[in-house]
Amino acid sequence: MPHPVPFNASSAPLMTLQTVLFEQAARAGRSRLDPAELAALLAALGALTTLERSGTAQAGSGELRVSLQHSREFGMVLSAGLGGFDGALDAGLFRRDRARVQALAELSSAEDFLMRCKGSMAYQKLLLRARRQDQAAPDAPLLALFENLLILASADPAAPFTLTKLDLEIRLSLGPIEVLEAHCEFAAPALQRRARPIAKIEQLLHPATIGLIGVSGTSMNFGRIILRNLLGSGYPKTQLTVIRPDATEIDGVACVANLQSLTHALDLLIVAVAAEAVPALVDEIIASGAVASVMLIPGGLGETSKSREAAALLGEKIDAAHALSSGGPIFLGANCLGVVSHPGGYDSWFIPLERLPKPAKKAQRNSVMLSQSGAFMITRLSQNPWLDPSYMLALGNQTDLTHGDLLRYFAQRPEIETLGIYIEGFKDGDGLLFAKAVRQAVLAGKQVVVYKAGRTDAGSAAVLGHTASVAGDPALFEAVLRQAGAIVARDINAFDDLFYIAGAMHHKKIGGNRLGAISGAGFEAVAMADELSADGFSLQMGELQPNTMQAVAAILQAKKLATLVEVRNPIDINPGADDEAHLQIAEAFLLDAQIDALVLGLDPTAPSVRALQHSLLRPGYDISDPLSTVQLMPPLVQRHDKPLVGIVDGGRLFDAMCDALMDRGVCVFRNCARGTSALRQYIQARQATAALCAARPKD
């Protein structure tokens, strides 16, 4: 794990100089350093500036552009990339991390950032020039510069001014680094929200008592649906209270007139009233001191231009309550679908259970889904019931609780192994809290899969109208979340695939990147091969050992397929191969020390494969047959610690086969390209996580 640069005696002179220069410029009414102040700062950084020697540098002659910039979401970000005219090129022309690399200063060391830079086009150009001139690689001067920039990034947050931007256009020579252009801005520190008392998330998720406001006694409004879902999920009536002055009971649940009439404290209060009634109700909730956590269901708080001022005032009230000795209540929402907490025994979504049943697909759930959009969770669960998370929480507008708060809580829970998170935007500073929580989670052995909406201008505008979020820079988001250890999905399909495979493969061993591929058709083998490489990471087809080739040849001989199939990797099995042939060859591949993972095409349309729920042509030759893939494959998966992905590329006729396999813990994809791509991305992420854990300082 990279070690951030701490404040110490050796860094004090540089940080003191920065403070003096900022105060001097501020007294002159400036928010940026002038040339003389810049020259002093650059000299302290160990760089030789040409700012005082106008005309010695030609326009566009910079080799590297290095920046420190304060991001609204992530705090200080260090970046480096192409300089000069090259730096003006559209980053979209380059592969990821080639035009520019970005990293959170707080999670970086100079060595770590230099290693990231080495894959960039800018560094490769510097290295090529150094080799042609028989010079040393530029590592030493760059390392010294990055160390000093990280010192500047770690300045005391209590200082009167903080750095907001430092841009350097540099050229490397035989002497010190030469700065051709420089620009430095600063500002007073932004006010930060108080820390939320995240320990109360325990009461939100495992409430011993729940209250509801906004339940109709005569119609099926959102509040009434939530009450029905709570009861339908088995939450005891005796632990529920409806707050309604004109009723004594609704659906068998006792009612009280108001919060002051409660005879006991509430772990959770669910608020399902009109948006305009929320501010006054929040005042009452805070004043009562009887509520630990609150779920704000109403939309319209911050999503429209007219409501943003009121929403901001509401957030300030809640924030002020956290200064109380009790910490005040925590609030989830507003514009919040609700929570499903299987361990807590309740479902508070306002979607009727008849439209979204939640049958248990796993004996032991080990995942969490956090989403700013409730509809995102609904559609994911509806289409992918095998995700079946232990907890599902909709954050809505993050009026109080944020992505960072919830991930910090779940990062500490040992039973949680996989987290899937949908994000539209971060509150100020919460991106940094979230990234640090990602790092905490992956070092604890968890996988965090993240999808970020608002990757385009149109998407960003839609985000603002949905949950009042500022989408932020998608390239920065991806860079820093990958640095923290998250698996970042590029689109919704990739999120589904990666969240699913992360849960299915959590306990499998990732030994390397050598793939075995067994296909039922030539196109499958080609499609698998086409998905081996992307974004600078590649799987490779493993070379089968002689004993494996002999074992496969014997299987083919026994199945009378020896003259039809060539033993190789990838291997293309003839449609005459039955279930047993597929799985015996798969096991031979898995036993090969040169194979780290396997993609297995299960060929459901082949007449020899028992893939139908009921066969009319051959009664009993179906998925219930003891020799079917459905019966034989789950034990095979359990016997081996290597990842095995099954491919069932067929239509609805084969849904029953897939359902039965997935119910029994087999990782199945319906498309060979998606399955291979997901496996590649997952292996890449697991290897990156292993590197982070290996670099962690030992206790």
> Residue 255 corresponds to which tokens in the numbers above?
């009612």
Residue 412 · residue 207 · CB < 8 Å:
no
The confidence score (pLDDT) of residue 175 equals: 66
Alpha helices in 4-46 (DSSP H): 12-27, 35-44
Q: What is the DSSP letter of 445?
A: T
Torsion of CA 398, 399, 400, 401, to 10 degrees: -10
The confidence score (pLDDT) of residue 299 equals: 83
Beta strands 367-371 and 391-394: pairing type? Answer: parallel
- The whole-number mean pLDDT for each consecutive block of 10 residues of the chain, a chain of 699 residues, reads 41 83 96 94 83 48 87 96 78 77 96 94 89 90 94 87 95 80 94 93 98 95 95 95 97 96 96 94 96 93 77 93 96 94 94 79 86 94 88 95 98 97 95 97 97 66 44 84 96 95 96 94 87 91 97 97 94 93 98 98 95 94 97 98 97 96 95 96 95 80
Place of tokens 């067929």: 650
Neighbouring CB atoms inside 10 A of 99's CB total 20
- Residue 516 half-sphere exposure, CB side, CA atoms within 13 Å? 28
SS3 278: helix
Q: What is the DSSP letter of 471?
A: -
Residue 193 · residue 401 · CB < 8 Å:
no
The confidence score (pLDDT) of residue 3 equals: 43
Asked whether the bond before 158 is cis by omega within 30 degrees of 0, the reply is: no
> Residue 241 corresponds to which tokens in the numbers above?
């209270």
SS3 286: helix
> Residue 250 corresponds to which tokens in the numbers above?
């609704």
The confidence score (pLDDT) of residue 12 equals: 64
Beta strands 100-104 and 162-171: pairing type? Answer: unpaired
* Residues 6 or more apart in contact with residue 363 via CB below 8 angstroms: none
Domains in the chain: ranges and CATH: 12-187 (3.30.470.20), 198-504 (3.40.50.261), 514-684 (3.40.50.261)
The confidence score (pLDDT) of residue 458 equals: 46
> Residue 229 corresponds to which tokens in the numbers above?
């879902």
Place of tokens 């990757």: 455
Separation in Å, CA 515 to CA 137, 497, 507: 35, 18, 18
The confidence score (pLDDT) of residue 99 equals: 86
Residue 377 · residue 314 · CB < 8 Å:
no
Neighbouring CB atoms inside 10 A of 558's CB total 12
- Residue 89 half-sphere exposure, CB side, CA atoms within 13 Å? 18
Q: Give the separation between CA 646 and CA 679, rounded to whole angstroms.
A: 11
The confidence score (pLDDT) of residue 695 equals: 85
pTM of the full structure: 0.91
SS3 451: strand
> Residue 664 corresponds to which tokens in the numbers above?
């029994």
Q: Give the separation between CA 654 and CA 648, rounded to whole angstroms.
A: 8
Q: Give the separation between CA 410 and CA 593, rounded to whole angstroms.
A: 36
Give 68-97 as a 3 state SS string. Answer: EEEECCCEEEEEEEECHHHHHCCHHHCCCC
Residue-wise DSSP of 270-339:
EE-S-GGGHHHHHHHHHHH--EEEEEE----SSSSGGGHHHHHHHHHHHHHHTTSTT---EEEESS---E
76 beta partners? 70
Q: Give the separation between CA 484 and CA 432, rounded to whole angstroms.
A: 10
Torsion of CA 605, 611, 613, 617, to 10 degrees: 60
Amino acid at position 422, single letter:
Y
Separation in Å, CA 335 to CA 195, 374, 577, 588, 644: 22, 9, 54, 53, 40
SS3 670: coil
Q: Give the separation between CA 514 and CA 525, rounded to whole angstroms.
A: 15
> Residue 191 corresponds to which tokens in the numbers above?
């006010």
Q: Give the separation between CA 64 and CA 126, rounded to whole angstroms.
A: 9
Residue 146 · residue 113 · CB < 8 Å:
yes
Separation in Å, CA 202 to CA 7, 278, 296: 35, 24, 17
Rounded (5°) CA angle 284-290-291: 85
